[in-house]
Structure 1
């Protein structure tokens, strides 16, 4: 039974990974294709996957659209290309057709076509993040109760959706940070005095601890995700000890230094047992550097959600762009920290860890899966912009050289650099896979 469950989980993980990868690759390659078409470069093949064709059709422009047997990427084959990566010299084409090849097109057209793939990845992520903002809204500025979560039997919950919070434990509050800071100074108790405004009147009601051991989010690839913890789970016990606040979870995780933990988790009114081992990770420190911390990969939740307000499409798009930029900036910081030795090489994962994280995101629900696709899309767009030959960024570097010097690198130089770049990429892939197995 355990083998079959593991096999089923492995198939589900692989399926989720292939779906996510196919969506991201399709958008990336479509960016190359459509900008090439707009700039006069002709595409002969648009393929999702490699190897033998499974399904194909040819459109009126002569491009063959196909799904191939090995669903681990994709490519656009342009007129005159000797290979899908556009890394080799163009095949001989008639002189009157050379303008429609990737090598014969003007520099601006080549650069735009190369940059379009990563740019479309960023567009996909921006649209997904913006869609989440449009659907969910953003928290209102004043602390206001939104949707209530199911609370355990016997817990006092007199708060109602729409209540505006103006005080906690006898102290005034004006924003969410005030509530959390005030709660930390209050003694542990089963319930607290919440001062609220309801229907134009101020009153005091009883409500639960604002810092409960409720899971708000689970990071894909984390110990919590691997163990099956889900948003909304309540961690009641750790190694038999009662847990009252989320900070108790943090303290216990730090104390065991990676030793296994036995969690008593409340889910849908049932208590289940889950075991996991914290992972040591490099995280950004307050001083701008990095510090090592033991983590299980969960964020704090609450017994109620903040009330939200809707935003317009332009504001949502702006928030989506900000989210994409923050991921890119974080990737740059992490890459530099790894190069300079500030963080360990185990932070570089390979295909196995990415696939596992994708499966875990899918297990957590459609919303988490789509959000994870957006994060992966940014990562793949960023990776492709690195100035390594065989990647889009490497070809853009060749374009930059041509723009500065007035001549393109020779086929010999480009071929040699491409071989070096290919060796580097393959080496990084092998290194990432080894990290998946040993870290």
Structure 2
């Protein structure tokens, strides 16, 4: 019952924090669509944050209705020829004077640019946030030094020794201990080649990370790779390095790219059943994590927003009809074939995509509810 009272007491904090973060990320995503649509001469009827009945709104000088709706789990930009919020056309019902601003009357390149602008805006938000943090706070680096080697571990069997410095893994340069953890953690059961500096010598060691299965603070099972290397955690080992603005931006791009590769690796592991699908969560999990991160301070919160933004951009590019990636897939088909896919094919794709999306939503929400239940009964 302690968990139940804790959950009830924190639900407003969780919900408000999560909605603020989600609203910002969705706004930037839709703003990307909106700005490029205006640039391409598309008439925008509605810019909506959220779905369902309108809470309040206003018209701008171009006649676009800016609205906030009651269901704040998404948003959309609606063009003059959209029959619905998924950009399926209703150009036939337009008056001749309105057709110049129709989305579907534009070239396939212009339509693709408008659709791609949403995810690109999310990537840019992530890069801007990471870059701003790097430029103002600097970067904290824990060198990839081996402080100790766990007995009977893959690292001991491979020949690692205390004092070794890891320079690269499978040819990928290692600058900090986090790089080591990221690669090893996503490579359970896969042999890795380590380039190691030992004194004045550079040697090569091969190690295969063990599969370590654990439960996180929310009861979800996750698997990660471990080789048995312990890092030095003394404060004098951590370095804060100030970087120039160009370096900060380059690092921001690198961190955003790292988010995407990490997400791809996670999806791959779930599909190949190397990771449990129960670690996938929905709004409840996101709200809990957001609230916990907010308690850590502004910098972790900004990094969390950047992480969410990058991943929303990536997920929207998946080639699933309904998502931006699905539209881009149809436009690629149109560009190759020199004519658009039939309306029936597009509608079928929309229905299949919507069904897949609904199945995913049901699944992640079921995971959320199941994990809450486990904590209620004391099994998570």
Tell me the SS of whatever aligns to 1:84.
coil
Is 2:292 aligned against 1:360? yes
TM-score in terms of structure 1 length: 0.64
**Residue 310 of structure 1: aligned partner:** 242
| Equivalent in the alignment of 2:303 | 371
Q: 1:130 and 1:116 mapped to 2: Cα distance?
A: 20
TM-score (norm 2): 0.73
**Number of the residue aligned with 1:119:** 120
Equivalent of 1:397 in 317, 329, 336: 329
- Bigger shift: residues 360-369 or 380-389: 360-369
Question: In structure 2, the residue corresponding to 1:283 is in which secondary structure?
Answer: strand
User: Structure 1 residue 101: deviation in Å?
Assistant: 1.3
Query: Take 1:57 and 1:393, find their aligned partners in 2: how far apart are those partners?
Result: 30
SS at match of 1:77: strand
Q: Distance in 1 between matches of 2:321 and 2:8?
A: 38
CA distance in 2, matches of 1:92, 1:49: 26
Greater mean alpha carbon deviation, residues 113-122 or residues 302-311: 302-311
Task: Establish whether residue 381 from structure 1 lines up as the match of residue 313 from structure 2.
Answer: yes
Within-5 A mapping of 1:73-92: 73-90=74-91, 92=93
Equivalent in 261, 267, 270 of residue 329 of structure 1? 261
Decide whether the 8 Å contact of 1:258 with 1:278 is kept in 2.
no
**1:23-422 correspondence to structure 2 within 5 Å:** 23-90=24-91, 92-138=93-139, 176-177=143-144, 181=147, 280-284=221-225, 302-304=234-236, 306-422=238-354
Secondary structure at the aligned position of 1:332 is classed as helix
Superposed CA RMSD in Å reads 2.9
Structure 2: where are the runs of 5+ without partners? 152-211, 372-380
Whole-Å Cα distance in 1 between the matches of residues 64 and 89 of structure 2?
Answer: 21
Cα shift at 1:364: 2.2
How many angstroms apart in 2 are the aligned matches of 1:278 and 1:405?
49
Task: Tell me, in whole angstroms, the C-alpha distance in 1 between the residues paired with 2:224 and 2:92.
Answer: 49
Q: Secondary structure at the match of 1:81?
A: coil
What's the offset of the Cα at 1:355?
1.8
> Is the Cα–Cα contact under 8 Å of residues 33 and 43 in structure 1 kept in the other structure?
yes
Residue 431 of structure 1, CA deviation: 1.0
Q: Structure 1 unaligned segments of length 5 or more: list them.
A: 144-175, 186-253, 261-275, 287-292, 294-298
Q: CA deviation at 1:89?
A: 4.0
Structure that is richer in helix per residue: 2
Q: How far did residue 412 of structure 1 move? A: 1.2
TM superposition shift of 1:436: 2.2
- C-alpha separation in 1, matches of 2:136 and 2:150: 32
> Could you tell me whether the CA contact under 8 Å between 1:125 and 1:375 is conserved in 2?
yes
Deviation at 1:377, TM superposition (A): 0.7
Partner residue, 2:162: none
Aligned residues: 308
Q: Distance in 1 between matches of 2:90 and 2:239?
A: 59
